[in-house]
Structure 1
Amino acid sequence: MDEVYVESEFAPLRTVVLARSEVAIPVSAATSGDSRFLAEGWQRNPVGKDMREGAPERQAAWERERDRFREVLEAHGVRVLRPRRLSDQEKAEAGEDGYANFFARDPFFTIGDQVIEASMRFRHRRREVLPVRDVLLDHVLPAQCGYVALPMPETPEPGDATLGRGPFLEGGDVLVLGSHVFVGDSGLASNRLGARWLAKYLAPHGYTVERVRLHEQILHLDCALGLVREGLLVVCEEALLDGVPPILRDWDRVPVSLEKATALATNGLPLDQGSYITDPAFADVGERLAARGIHVEYVDFSITRSLGGSFRCSTQPLLRRD
């Protein structure tokens, strides 16, 4: 039977779900403020059609990025699970909303021995949990762990730029540090109601949930803050409206600018307390981590990053513990 447990962001990574590379960006993304979190150059991705059809060479390069990432994970002894691909019917039902199956971090998340299906804000991502369900049914349902889903978000009124009350709660906003859980809120993804739901659900399990307010250009908390090992973090302090959370204020910090945070400089992936994966675009971050005794590996993730996520976004652990 599979073991399911996530102790922290930097406990040894043993089993992880690695995302597929499927997306059809809705036309509305190009005309609304909801694209403000994306780094410059995201427009190179086709809008209104599947990447595979609109930019086949870019699609192939995107898949090679993920394949190389998988090779690095497996070289470190990590067991890698993959969601299935979206079906033709799922794509057809999405219609003008578009669809996504590209960042496994967000449609579900793992806290301790609790696996929780998320509630996604963007319309093109609301079905994103479906292709990962087979992984959850095969590896989570039989395990000795909890498995629940957030309430379905309510339907917004026409023209409601907030997309309704939610509750919205996405895995990229959830960082685990033992019994302390951080939840980001920028207005683009998770919201206060989602954080309240999580706090209520986790309280009987002994967890404290802390909401972290984010700059409006930041999609998720892991785009502003990364916990590398006990006592060491990568952070964009400008993106944290109330400053670094009190429990982390004595930690050593590798700072990054808001511009680099938008490009995903904080979204590397710790494999354990001594190893970390990032993009060569952030060699300066890697060098500062290496100076602190971290072994850093580099994988070019430029296409993945152009879609708003990087290494942490592309993965969701099922087992992280000593």
Structure 2
Amino acid sequence: MVAETAKVRVDSEFAPLRSVVVSQSEFRAPANAAILGHSMPVEDSAVEILEAVWGKDFGEVYPEKQKAWEAERDELAAVLTRHGVEVLRPRLFNDTEKEAAGDTGYANFFVRDPWFTVGEHVIEGVLQFPHRRMEVLPSRQLLLDRVVPSSARYVALPQPEASPLGHPGGGPFLEGGDVLVLGKEIFVGCSGMATNELGYRWLAKYLEPFGFTVTEVTLPEHVLHLDCAISLIRDGLMISCPARLPAGLPAALRDWEQIEVSEDEAAAMATNGLSIDPSTYLTDPEFERVGKELEGRGITVEYIDFSVSRLFGGAFRCTTQPLLRAD
């Protein structure tokens, strides 16, 4: 029998979490905004802070915020461990990688996006923002150690063509924050800022022979990922932001009970909590209103202050990537 920690599988967004990777907290901003091509999605309160770090390491400019950022991730790891979840961490970037990044900058702060797990498939994606293109590298040895010996498939998207800075090219682009798993139903968000049409079509072509149905979910241009609009809590219950779903919910989710959040709440990451299992959910105390709604439906809610992580446009789901989520 294969040891549980050797298994690699994700059955849904809320199946019991058994093994998970928790992000590091590394960020060097591009030398200037033009390199990005379009605005980086951050909280309004973070604009002034991030304006001070172009071409610089965040921790060098804001050492106290860096310590708080690392402490947030350490506290998350501790809470998950307390719930019996195996916690793994990517390594930090090495000097060679940092030097290679040059003016583009680098990020090693949201492990959800550079690779993701669907059923027994681990997929390396391709990220649009140039400073995030190398973000998979700190996880690569971990994937080789844990995924290759398992029965899971391990594949990667085709690399995009070379293009001038500020112009990402045609892709394909596919990011884990856009991919939600519900058994054999897979939902893929497309705003064009992260995952694009070609990335969605690649995933559908790859997964459909294995019995998956892959559904595209349209997002407004300013919304980075699908998990910034939807959170699946348990079978039949979700958090959603209708303002971020211009075409409405996918058919498979339309009968679900919804706890609705506003555009402002969603922009602050109200939908980016993390289910530990169908009855336990992690979120930020900023979203106590949502937490009380969940508690009223029998969900135990744990709170961790994630205010620094949220400055970068992500929270609990962005900070984690499951290797095993299964009953």
Fold similarity call, TM over 0.5: yes
- 1:34 is aligned to 38
Cα contact 2:36–2:166 (8 A) shared by 1: no
Q: 2:11 aligned with 1:4, yes or no?
A: no
Q: Establish whether residue 256 from structure 1 lines up as the match of residue 256 from structure 2.
A: no
Per-residue CA distance 1:252-296 (angstroms, 9 max, x = gap): 000011111111100000001000000000000101011111000
Q: Is the 8 A contact 2:236 2:257 kept in 1?
A: yes
Amino acid at match of 2:247: D
Q: What is the letter of the counterpart of residue 34 of structure 1?
A: H
Taking structure 2 as the reference length, the TM-score comes to 0.95
Q: Are the equivalent residues in 2 in contact too, given 1:36–1:217 (CA < 8 A)? A: no
Q: 1:298 to 1:30 in 2, by over 3 A?
A: farther
Change (3 A) 1:120 1:248: same
Q: 1:158 to 1:69 in 2, by over 3 A?
A: closer
1:145 equivalent in structure 2? 152
CA distance in structure 1 between the aligned counterparts of 2:319 and 2:240, rounded to whole angstroms: 19
Matched, 1:239 2:244: yes
Q: Give how far 1:157 is off.
A: 4.6
In the alignment, which residue of structure 2 is the partner of 1:16? 20
Q: Percent identity?
A: 56
Is residue 277–residue 296 contact of structure 1 (8 Å, CA) maintained in 2? yes
- Cross-structure match for 1:50: 57
Corresponding position of 1:132: 139
Contact 2:107 2:135 in 1 (8 A): yes
Per the alignment, in what secondary structure is the counterpart of residue 148 of structure 2? coil
Distance in 1, Cα, partners of 2:300 & 2:34: 39
In the alignment, which residue of structure 1 is the partner of 2:172?
167
1:55, CA displacement in angstroms?
Answer: 1.3
2-side partners of 1:201 and 1:149: how far apart?
Answer: 11
Q: CA deviation at 1:86?
A: 0.2
Q: 2:124 aligns with which of 114, 117, 126?
A: 117
Specify the alignment match of 2:290 in structure 1: 285
Contact 2:233–2:281 under 8 Å retained in 1: yes
Gap runs ≥5 in structure 2: none
Aligned-residue offset at 1:34: 2.9
Compute the displacement of 1:30 (Å): 7.8
What is the SS of the residue equivalent to 1:128?
A: coil
CA–CA distance in 2 between the matches of 1:97 and 1:187?
Answer: 20
Structure 1 alignment gaps of length 5 or more: none
The one of 196, 200, 224 aligned to 2:201: 196
- CA distance in 2 between counterparts of 1:179 and 1:132 reads 26
Alignment partner of 1:311 is 2:316: yes
Q: Residues 72, 49 of structure 1: CA spacing in aligned structure 2 closer, same or farther, 3 A cutoff? A: same
Equivalence for 1:211: 216
Alignment of 1:45-84 (within 5 A): 45=50, 46-84=53-91
8 Å contact from structure 1 (residues 217, 262) kept in 2 = no
Q: Taking structure 1 as reference, are residues 179 and 63 closer, same or farther at Cα in structure 2, changes over 3 Å only?
A: same
